[in-house]
Structure formats: C-alpha cells, structure tokens
Chain A
Amino acid sequence: MASGSIKVEKGDYGGGGRASAEIKSVLSRVGVSSEIIKRAVIAVFEAEMNIIIHSYGGQIIYRVDEDTLEVEAIDTGPGIPNIVLAMKEGYSTAPPEARELGYGAGMGLPNIKKNTDFFYITASPKGTTLKFHIRLTPQENFEEIPVKVIPESKKCKHCLDCIKECPTKAIRLRGDEVKILYHRCVNCNRCVEICPTGVFDFLLEVIQPHRDGFLDSLSTVIIPSPVASKLYIEGKWFPWRDFMKEEYGVEVVTLIPWDRALEQTVDEYLSNSDLKNLPVISPVCPSVIQWIQTEYPSLIGYVAPYLFSFIASIDYYVRKGKVLYVPICPSQIATLELLYKNSNSIKLLHPRALFDFIRESRFESTRGDKCISALESQANYKYAISGVVPVKKFMDKLEKGRVGKELKIVELYACYGGCYGFPFTDLEPHYLSWLMRSSDLFDSTREEVKTLFMASSFKPRKGIRLGFSIRESLEKLALIEDMSKSLPGRDCGVCGAPRCLDFAEEMAIYNASIDKCPYIPKKEKES
C-alpha cells in the first residue's frame, strides 16, 4: 500500500506532470504492466492539467493497493458549470494562454473517462473533485457485482416461494441446501422479504455497536431516509440523535437532503442535453441498476449518469472522519464494496443491530407535531414504480419501445413502496414515504449537499460460461436444450429450480439428478 498527495498550483504550466510522474514511478516500482501505467499517467496528467488551467489550485491524492489505483483530484473552484457538456469531446473552456501551449483540446475529461475503470465528478462553485479508479491487474470482470445476500439453509422449510418469486431466477434448492447463483442475483430484497422462516439475510455481521467499540472514533452516522423516518414516526429520532451527540460525540445525519439533491439534478439533466433515450431512469435503486446490468443491458443508456445518493453522502462525510452507515439492502452493501473496498473509514451496521441498540437504550418518545405541512405534488412527467414485478413489467415494455416519450423520468425501486419498503420495517411504505415527503423536518437546503456525476458508465454484467472452452460450452448448450425437451415444461419448481429450463441447466452443469422431477415416470427415468 502506497499513498501520497501532491499540491498543484494554478497556472503552473511548467510544474504540471509532477503528480503523474510520482504516480508513474510508484506504479513501476510495484511492477504494474506498462500498458496500465500509461493509462494511469494519461488520466492523472489530464486531471493535473485541469487543475492548473481551470481552477484556483488544488491537489492530487492517490492510493495504491495490490489491485487498484485510486486518485482524487480536488480543487478550489470555480467548478464546472455544466458537466454533461464538459464530458463532450472537443468542448473546452481553456484560456488562450493554455491553448498556446497545446492544451485546451477539450479532451481532458473524455481522456480520463477512457483510461479509467470508474470515474465520477462532483462540482460546485467552491470547487471540483474528480475521483477515479484504475484496476492494476487487467481483469475483465471489474464490473462483477458482489452478492450480499446469504441463505441459512437449515431454516428452510422447502415452501419454494423464493424460487418462484426471485425476479432473476437466481435461487436453487439443491437437496437441503439453498443456493444463490452468483451470476444472476441482483441483491434485491425480495427473498429477504418473502421468506416465511427468515432464511435470507444481508451478508453483514450483526454486531452490538455500543459493546463492540463500533461507535468509538466515529465522526458521523449516516441514516438512510426510511430508517430515519421510521425512528421519527416512532418518536425516537430526536432523543436518539441527542443521545449520540452527548454520549459519543457523533453527529447523526439523514440521507433525505441527498435524495432530494439527486432528484433535482436528474430534473436538470433532463433539460440540458440532447437525450436520445427517454424516459430517463433515475439512479435511485442500486438493485435495479444491477438488474439492468444483468438482464437488460440495452437499457443502460437510459440511466441518468449520477451516483446513488447514499454514495454522494458517504463521499462527503468521509472527508470529515470515520463514517458509520446503515445499509437497508444488500445492493447498497454490494455497491459500497465495489467503491470503498479498502477503506478503513467506512463501517457498516446492520439495520437490525441499529434497531436493537435503540430499543435497548429506551428513549422516551417525543413525537413530532408538525409532521405534515403540505403534500408535495409530483410533477406529471415523473413516475415511480416499485416492487420487482411491476419493475420487471416496465423494463420489458421499455425494452420493446412500448413506453411513451411523454414520460420523462422514471424512478424504479426493487422494493415495494421504494426504499421505504425495506424489509426491517413494519410500517406501510407508501404511508411512510408520504409522511416524509410532506414533512419539513429535514433540512434539504444545506450547501454541502451535492450529486456525484458518474462519468464512467455502467457496464453489462458478464454471464456465466458453461464450460472451460467454447467447444465445451457449445456441447453443454446442446445438452441443456436436449434435456429441457425431456422435461414436462410445467415449471412447478419441485425439483428446486424455478423453471424446467433452469432444471435442464442444473442437470447439464451441476449434474443434478432427473429423479427430482415429479412428472417423469420411473421407467422413463431409468431409460
């Protein structure tokens, strides 16, 4: 692990390249391939020159670990007025003196985008921050989505509900073992929500925050809007927040302003560019995005290029010190793992542990009186769709072009009722969200609230390979087709796979026995 920071002065054309040179020498000492070094040097050099040409000065911070280079280029204004435009090749606002030296081709940000694996921007008149990652070992599956749901097979009573309900058909029952297929799961909460015996849970340790020293040395606790609103409705929000401040010196904040900032930014995005794909899918639910990457790659272009609000918020507060976040779905945990894999400054707390902690502390309820001020009217070009079944129907229609152009923005949520329907609440999600939308409790006009522009786009997820070679894969594919013909096609699920076709795949790849099919008579099975 190596890291460093280099100061970059405004207008210091001659000094440009110092950060890139330092990072280059670090990478070559670590033994990174020359191709990747070149990518890194191009991206850092462009970022450096951007600070020199366009800002009042700033710095480049980098971190290298065994497989990723992380770079942050931070400057102090005047910001980028229109990021969508700035990302266009050839668009430049460089002054004449920079152009004389050969700069100002309008290729800076596009060049960074091309040479990095993950790249986002946040800009305000106070300054701009660019953050990008470069994978040091060329791995094609950088976009591989981690699966953060874990089944506990011994709780399973074989009701087969999850197998049928899983929107991407990712669950199998192999004997007594509940199995999640890692190339299909999109981390929605569906199985967690519907399982009557609680087989599924987040892949996140449930710990006791006050006993395990979790709250020490923290500076901020970030609470997602639905958790905050649940606490608020139950009258525990204010006393808990004060308690945390007094007892641990920790500031408790909500995501509500960040959610609203994203909403606003997507509205603005609609107005300022020549969008080809309408409606714009607002990036509100990481699970839906992962679903699009997995099953609807043709819809990737519809997603507005911004990062989820919880990432924007974490990205801001982590600059102040250690952050504790309470993820409300496995897809949030998966996203955080992709972006902050090696960061020690972010801790995650299971929502169940949070509720236990608050219950144990026995706060007196101080129910808020001024809960409802006015019901916000939803603009008519916008629509929210929630729940895996409606979302799936919508994406199917959109893929076939059966969604009218009048609909400009759509918010898709995998959970019923949006994030307010996360599995650890007993309240009706629409009621909860309606209360929150109309409450003036949470201040949304704070200056630091920003949206992160995601310059690199989401990539389609790679499917599973059936065999080690193309030949083997083709053979297996033929086998699957063959086997599916011998199955009854009733898709009953008794075998542990949701559809007959999936069972054929189970037989071809994982050697499942045809005995499990209840419809094939014994004699036939033997032959």
Chain B
Amino acid sequence: MKEVSKLKLIEIVETVDGELLAGENIENCFIGKIYAGDRISDLIVNASGETLIVTHINNISLLQLLELFDIPAVCLVSQSYPDEKVIDKVRERRGVLFSSRYDMFETCGRIYKLFNNTP
C-alpha cells in the first residue's frame, strides 16, 4: 500500500497503457491511495473510499468489493477483462475500471515510478 498525495487517475491509466472499460470524466478523478493484491481479505482491509486497487481478480468477488467498500477505481492486470456484469456495476456506481497492458510486476513498477517522480 502506498499513500500518495492526490494523484490524477488519467496519468496512471496512461502510464500502464490501460484500456478504459468504464469511467466518465476520468480527467477530474483523483485517488489518494494504491493497493495491489489478489486476496479478498487483504483488499477489504486495505481499501477505502479513495483507493485504486490493482488486482487479478476480475470475477463476481470484485463486484462485492466495489459495492461494499466504496472502491472508486480498479486496475486489472495482464490485459484481462471482467464479466459484463462487473463493468455494468462499475458504470452504475460511476467508478473507474481499466485493464493494464502489463503484468502485475510491470504495472506496479510503472505506477510506483510515476508517483515517486511526482513532486
């Protein structure tokens, strides 16, 4: 988990060559925290209302997480795509969902580099 001072979401999407699956007005979206993990128990403890989560989980479990823990943004890795239902849910909640072109290691590395260079 990394605390960052308000990071522009669009910059993160660009740095991982992300494909935007859901999300409007992404230019005005900021997030305060990033957490990467694949275990639901870790995600629910560490995610909050301003967290971007980076994960492999692209199934119904993700749906519950979004619903219950007010997670504003999700980055899937390795160009994976979720179920249509998940995308609908994110749209409905006005959240942001995108799929990174890279694997977990590369994705996290790029994001890490990005905010470490941000003054």
Contacts and interface: CB of A to CB of B under 8 A. Distances in A.
A13 B60 contact: yes
A355 to B, nearest CB: 52
B41 A111 contact: yes
A101 B41 contact: no
Nearest to A103: B40
Contacts of B55: 102
Given A17-B67, A41-B69, A102-B39, A111 B45 contact: yes
Contacts of A101: 40, 57, 59-61
Given A13-B60, A14-B60, A102 B40 contact: yes
A101 to B, nearest CB: 5
Contacts of B48: 38
B61 A102 contact: yes
Contact of B39 (A21, A41, A107): A107
A62 B68 CA distance: 17
B3 interface: no
Contacts of B57: 101-102
Interface string B29-51: 00000000011111111001100
A450 interface: no
B68 A45 contact: yes
Nearest to A100: B59
Nearest to B85: A14
B61 A103 contact: yes
Contacts of A206: none
Q: Which of the four size classes fits the interface of chain B?
A: 20 to 34
A46 interface: yes
A12 to B, nearest CB: 10
B15 interface: no
Contacts of A21: 67-68
Interface string A459-488: 000000000000000000000000000000
A13 B44 contact: no
Contacts of A111: 41, 44-45
Interface of A is mostly: helix
Contact of B42 (A34, A38, A100, A107): A107
A21 B66 CA distance: 11
B64 interface: yes
Contacts of B59: 100-102
Interface string A85-116: 00000000000000011110111100100100
Given A21-B67, A21-B68, A42 B60 contact: no
A493 interface: no
B41 A107 contact: yes
A111 B42 CA distance: 9
Interface string A1-27: 000000000000110110011001000
B59 to A, nearest CB: 6
Contacts of B63: 14
Contacts of A42: 44-45
Contacts of B44: 41-42, 45-46, 111
A127 to B, nearest CB: 23
A29 to B, nearest CB: 16
Contacts of B68: 17, 20-21, 24, 41, 45
Given A13-B60, A14-B60, A111-B45, A102 B38 contact: yes
Nearest to A13: B60
Contacts of B38: 102
B83 to A, nearest CB: 10
A13 B42 CA distance: 18
Contacts of A108: 41
Interface in B2-48: 38-45, 48
B64 A16 contact: yes
A45 B38 CA distance: 17
Interface string B54-81: 0101011101100111000000000000
Contacts of B43: 102
A9 to B, nearest CB: 14
Ranked 5 nearest A-B pairs via Cβ: A107-B41, A105-B39, A17-B64, A105-B41, A102-B40
Given A41-B68, A102-B59, A102-B61, 20 more contacts: A13-B60, A16-B64, A17-B68, A20-B68, A34-B49, A38-B48, A38-B69, A41-B44, A42-B44, A45-B44, A45-B64, A46-B41, A46-B44, A49-B40, A101-B60, A102-B38, A102-B39, A103-B41, A103-B61, A111-B41
9 contacts: A13-B60, A13-B61, A24-B68, A38-B69, A41-B69, A45-B44, A101-B40, A105-B41, A108-B41
